[in-house]
Amino acid sequence: MFRLLWHHLAKTPPSPPIAAAQTDGHAGEAVLVRPLPDGWCGTSVHMRHVDCGSCNGCDWELSALLNPVYDIQRYGLDFVASPRHADLLLVTGSVTRHLQEALTMTYEATPDPKVVVAVGDCACGAGPFSGAYACGTGAEDHVPVHLKIPGCPPSPAMIIAALRALLK
């Protein structure tokens, strides 16, 4: 175990700085579609992810934020296990019929003031399967969305750049 620890401390590069807009051609700009709520602190933001029917591409890019390369905690952002502990909800997926209730309940369980971020084309209402019978039409039809991060999926660097814009 010490050999592994030493190898990773000594042989692997430190986390690189994230350029402000490191987009990779699949993703447009993130859009603030609703003003941030009154009393939004924005200095130490705890986030809760809600999968509402994504293909898991966006989900894996969100979990990549925790790896040593992106290391999202250094920006004052972190993931929490319960919506009760969260300031911000990250919604992925088109909100399928089977997950509408789960999204609404998660939103109601989150204390105010809260911010909702739609991550990926599906959650932003522009998913590839819109019109399918169980697919849903994006997060905005169920909860008030503040920030949209388009992309299929948006890259981790792009997600970080967009989330940092919410910090004060």
Partner 1 sequence: MIRKVLSAWVSLKSDRQGNLWGTVLPEQGPEVAQVVHGQLGLPLTMMVAVDERAKSGVYRLTYLFSLIDKPAFLALEMAVDGQAAEYPSWTPAVPAANWHEREARDLLGVVPVGHPDPRRLVLHGNWPHGYHPLRQDAPSEVAATAPRRFSFRPPGEEAMQIPVGPIHAGIIEPGHFRFTAVGEQIQALEANLFYTHRGIEKWCEGKPVMTVLAAAERLCGVCSLTNSLAFCQAVEAIAKVEVPPAARYGRVLLCELERLYNHIGDLGNICAGTAVALGTMAGTRIKEQLQQLNDALTGSRFLRGILVPGGLRRPLAAEGIDKVLREVRRDAAMLADTLLGHASFMDRLDHTGIVDRATAWRLGAVGVAARASGIDRDCRRDHPHAAYHELRWQVPVHQEGDVAARLKVRIEEIEQSLSLIEQARAALLAMATTTTTTMKPGDWAAVIDEYPAGRGWGVAESPRGETVHWLEIDAQGLVSRYRVRTGSYANWPVVVAAVPGNMVPDFPLINKSFELCYACSDR
Contact stretch for partner 1 (CB under 8 A) within 38-46, 91-99, 140-148, 158-166: 91-99
Q: Total residues contacting partner 1 (rule CB under 8 A)?
A: 56
Q: Enumerate residues 39-78 that contact partner 1 by CB under 8 A.
A: 49-64, 66-70
b/e code 21-59 from CB counts within 10 Å (16+ = b): eebeeebeebeeeeeeeeebeeeebebbbbbbbbbebbb
- Type of residue numbered 93: G
Computed over its alpha carbons, how large is the radius of gyration of the chain? 16
Q: Tokens for 69?
A: 């390369």
- What is the separation of C-alpha 76 from the centre of its chain, rounded to a whole number of angstroms? 14
Q: Least distance in Å: CB of 138 to partner 1? A: 13
**Residue 38 Cβ vs partner 1, minimum distance, rounded to whole Å:** 27
Write phi, then psi, for 31 (nearest 5 degrees).
-125, 130
What is the number of other CB atoms lying within 10 angstroms of the CB of residue 95?
30
Binder to partner 1 among 18, 30, 93, 116 (CB under 8 A)? 93
Length of the chain in residues, anyone? 168
Binding segment (CB under 8 A) for partner 1, from list 31-39, 81-89, 142-150, 159-167: 81-89
117 is a contact residue toward partner 1 (CB under 8 A): no
Binding site for partner 1 (CB under 8 A): 1, 3-5, 7-8, 12, 24-26, 49-64, 66-70, 79, 81-83, 93-94, 96-102, 106, 128-129, 131-136, 152-153, 155
